[in-house]
Every structure is written in structure tokens, then in C-alpha cells.
């Protein structure tokens, strides 16, 4: 079976990336991004398009779009206008994120491509599923299927699998097939220390594996940052990165994340990996306390290291551009590359073509390979 694709007016993207995962940028979500919400409240479409473009530049394959706020009552019209602007200017396929089926339907009419619906579930009477399934068939689009059933959110691996099975069986009544489903088996924060959620990380990983074995033609996704909600920023980034690595090993196909926060597993300090994995796999009773204590103790060191990643303006352009590539500092790179080429032509401070290409080849795939090292 040919792998399903989603598309914009400008580009088609396979849901099954090699290496995995497909990255869905999360920063155009007014429910989760303070900046996106400010732009929505101010009607700043130009800045929203810029946020979209920045995410694509940082490695996002698709973009989640949510404009719902309690302060505005025109979600439908705002979404129509925004997806129209994005479709004209951004090549990445869109993920239409709304709790209102009418908003989703209106957005689908505007998009000259094949987006993703976010999301469907069988909560309560299943009315959301029954409202959106016909649209999935009409437009031939997949949807993120939350593992939420009549009894609520699935927490154990078996509950996650059973809810996925119920979603597929219900979908068959509308003519939906496995490949229409991008299952979110749900993950819960490990920051509370509550007994109910001590195994939340393990349960999510096992749930992904079970669903992929049962429905090999389906897809999986996660709102990755849920796993670390409530922790300090640096601790969150490390926990997210380590969890993503293990999720891909378990069979994760796509992930909803800020692409700029992706950290390759092999670049994470061994001790940081260790305390994160102790927490994820609930290896001992003090895992959470030790994880928090470690990042509190190293906070000053991390801040000092972050300050060192700066470009010295006195460096020749070749060195500046090389440094920006290696450290993924996107701002100013085009200017420095152009300057480096000019200097090379004039014979000043040139860097060899061989050296430059070696650096680019080694770094251009980092976003995809970050979570796939040893995953196969």
C-alpha cells in the first residue's frame, strides 16, 4: 500500500517519514502559545504567517492551526482568513485544530490541498466523531484520533488499544480505513508525582506499540510537551527529547512540537538521559525528586553554556556562517553566507567548499534523525 500523503497547494508530504517522525509545528495554536494568542486577539495575520514560516524553516513538515480564544467570537471567520493566507504563502500542509465542526468544515473548503483534522474522539455520545467523519470521507483527509472513549481518556496500554479499536470500528460505518487514523494514545505529565500517573510514560510507549501492531496501516502522534507539563524549561526540553526518542522506537510516526526545541538524543548529556529515563520508566520511587533536583543543581551551568553560543561579529564571514550552521543559529545566516561567498571570490578568508558541504551534510538532517538514532 502506498503511504498516504497530506498536502498544501505547493507541496505533498508523506505521513510516514524516513527517518521518523513527521514534525507538526505547534506554535500557531492560540490555546498553547502566548504569542499566537496575542496575534489572534490583535488580528495580526502578518505575524501569524511569519510564525508559520519560522516553523517550516526550523524543520516542521506540517503546521497545527488553532485560533480559538475566549476573547473572540469569530473563530470561523478568522480561521477561514488565516488558512487562506497560509495556503498562499506557506508550503507546509496544515492541521486544522478546532473543537467546532463548523470551523473545520469551513477551513476544509478554503484549503487547496489535503490537510489533517485535529481531532476526533468518541467522548460522551460520540457526536464530535459523527460530525467530522463525513468530512473526512468527503475530502479524503486523515484525522488525529484521540484515544478518548465513552468512559473517558484511556490511561492504561490496554485501554488505549481498546479505544483505538472502537474508533476504527466506528469509522468503518462511514467508509473510513486504518490509514485515515492518526492515533494519539495520550500522555500525561510526569510532574505531579501522583500514583495514578507514575507509569504514564511507560503506558504511552506501550500503547503506541500495541496500536501500531494492531493497526499497521494507521499512524500515531503525540502532543509531546504534555509529558513534561509543570517542570522547569530546561528540564522540559530534555525530558521531551528523551521521551520522543523512545516514542519513535515504539512506533511513533508524527509528533506535535515546537521544531526549534528538538534536541538530538546523542547530543544530550549522559546523566541527563539517565535521570530522564529513570522518570519515564518509573525505575525507582525517587525518580521525580532526583530529576527535579538534578536540573535545579545544574541550572546555572546550563545558563552559562547557553550564553556562550553567540557569534562574534569580528569573525570573518566564513567562520560566522560555519558557526551558525553548527549551532543552528538561523538569524543572520543568509547574510553571512552571502558575505562568505563574496570573500571567497575575492580571495579573503575563504572556507573550502569541501569543508562547508561536510558541515551542511552533517547537520541538515538533525531534526529527523534526532529521535531516530538506534531506533531501527
d(CA 173, CA 246): 34
Last residue of a domain, one of 240, 266, 292: 266
Q: Are residues 68 and 196 in the same domain?
A: yes
Domain-located, residue 362: yes
User: Cβ contacts of residue 147 below 8 Å, gap of 6+?
Assistant: 121, 153, 154, 159, 160, 163, 164, 167, 183, 184, 185, 186, 207
What would the pLDDT profile of 242-282 be if each residue is shown by its tens digit? 999 999 999 999 999 999 999 999 999 999 999 999 999 99
In a shared domain, residues 255 and 333? no
Residues of the chain above pLDDT 70, percent: 84
What mean pLDDT is predicted for residues 204-221? 99
**Is 278 within a domain?**
no
User: What is residue 301's predicted lDDT score, i.e. its pLDDT?
Assistant: 60
Same domain assignment for residues 123 and 245: yes
Same domain, 249 and 313: no
Q: Are residues 258 and 314 in the same domain?
A: no
Q: 15 and 127: one domain?
A: yes
- Asked if residue 108 and residue 13 are part of one domain, the reply reads yes
Cα distances from 208 to residues 123, 139, 176, in angstroms, run 20, 27, 21
One domain, residues 126 and 185: yes
pTM of the model: 0.84
What local confidence, expressed as pLDDT, does residue 319 receive?
Answer: 74
Domain membership flag for residue 53: yes
CATH number for the domain that contains residue 10: 3.20.20.20
How many domains does the chain contain in total? 2
* pLDDT in the model for residue 359: 46
Q: Evaluate whether residue 281 is within a structural domain.
A: no
Q: Which three cell numbers stand for residue 316?
A: 570573518
Q: Residue 122: helix, strand or coil by DSSP?
A: coil
Q: Please choose, from the candidates 107, 104, 140, the residue with its C-alpha nearest in 3D space to the C-alpha of residue 119.
A: 104
Over residues 70-129, the pLDDT tens digits come to 999 999 999 999 999 999 999 999 999 999 999 999 999 999 999 999 999 999 999 999
Q: Indicate whether 160 belongs to any domain.
A: yes
pLDDT at residue 363 above 90? no
Has residue 131 been placed in a domain? yes
Question: What is d(CA 337, CA 348) in angstroms, rounded to the nearest whole number?
Answer: 14
State the virtual CA torsion across 247, 248, 251, 257 in degrees, nearest 10: 70
Arithmetic mean of pLDDT, 150-158 = 98
pLDDT tens digits, one per residue of 299-353: 856 554 554 556 777 778 777 777 676 566 667 777 777 777 776 666 544 444 4
What does the pLDDT read at residue 366?
54
Is the residue at 284 inside a domain?
no
Q: What is the pLDDT of the chain when averaged over all its residues?
A: 90
Q: How far is C-alpha 101 from the geometric centre of its chain's CA atoms?
A: 23
Q: Is residue 375 part of a domain?
A: no
Same domain, 191 and 313: no
Q: Clarify whether residues 242 and 123 are in a common domain.
A: yes
Can you give the residue range of the structural domain that contains 344? 309-368
Amino acid at each position: 500500500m502506498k503511504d498516504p500523503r497530506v498536502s498544501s497547494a505547493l507541496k505533498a508530504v508523506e505521513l510516514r517519514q524516513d527517518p521518523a517522525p513527521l514534525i507538526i509545528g505547534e506554535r500557531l495554536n492560540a490555546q498553547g502559545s502566548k504569542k499566537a494568542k496575542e496575534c489572534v486577539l490583535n488580528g495580526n495575520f502578518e505575524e501569524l504567517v511569519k510564525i508559520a514560516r519560522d516553523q517550516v524553516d526550523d524543520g516542521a513538515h506540517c503546521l497545527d492551526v488553532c485560533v480559538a480564544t475566549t476573547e473572540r467570537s469569530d473563530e470561523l471567520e478568522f480561521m477561514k482568513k488565516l488558512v487562506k493566507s497560509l495556503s498562499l504563502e506557506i508550503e507546509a500542509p496544515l492541521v486544522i485544530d478546532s473543537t467546532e465542526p463548523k470551523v473545520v468544515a469551513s477551513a476544509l473548503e478554503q484549503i487547496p490541498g489535503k490537510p489533517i483534522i485535529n481531532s476526533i474522539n468518541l467522548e460522551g455520545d460520540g457526536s464530535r466523531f459523527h460530525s467530522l467523519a463525513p468530512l473526512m470521507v468527503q475530502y479524503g483527509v486523515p484525522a488525529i484520533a484521540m484515544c478518548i472513549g465513552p468512559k473517558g481518556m484511556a490511561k492504561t496500554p490496554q485501554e488505549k488499544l481498546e479505544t483505538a479499536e472502537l474508533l476504527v470500528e466506528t469509522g468503518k460505518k462511514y467508509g473510513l480505513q486504518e490509514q485515515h487514523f492518526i492515533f494519539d494514545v495520550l500522555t500525561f505529565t510526569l510532574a505531579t508525582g501522583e500514583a495514578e500517573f507514575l507509569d504514564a510514560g511507560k503506558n504511552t510507549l506501550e500503547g503506541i506499540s500495541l496500536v501500531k501492531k494492531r493497526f499497521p496501516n494507521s499512524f500515531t502522534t503525540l502532543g509531546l510537551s504534555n509529558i513534561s507539563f509543570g517542570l522547569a524549561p530546561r528540564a522540559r526540553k530534555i525530558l521531551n527529547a528523551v521521551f520522543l526518542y523512545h516514542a519513535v522506537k515504539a512506533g511513533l510516526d508524527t509528533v506535535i512540537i515546537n521544531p526549534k526545541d528538538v534536541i538530538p538524543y546523542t547530543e544530550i548529556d549522559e546523566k541527563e538521559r539517565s535521570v530522564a529515563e529513570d522518570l519515564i520508566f518509573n525505575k525507582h520511587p525517587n525518580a521525580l525528586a532526583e530529576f527535579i533536583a538534578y536540573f535545579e543543581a545544574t541550572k546555572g551551568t546550563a545558563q552559562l553554556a547557553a550564553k556562550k553560543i553567540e557569534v562574534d561579529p569580528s569573525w570573518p564571514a566564513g567562520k560566522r556562517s560555519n558557526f551558525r550552521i553548527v549551532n543552528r543559529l538561523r538569524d543572520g545566516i543568509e547574510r553571512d553566507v552571502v558575505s562568505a561567498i563574496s570573500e571567497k571570490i575575492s580571495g579573503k578568508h575563504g572556507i573550502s567548499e569541501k569543508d562547508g558541504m561536510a558541515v551542511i551534510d552533517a547537520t541538515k538532517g538533525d531534526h529527523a534523525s534526532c529521535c531516530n538514532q538506534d531506533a531501527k
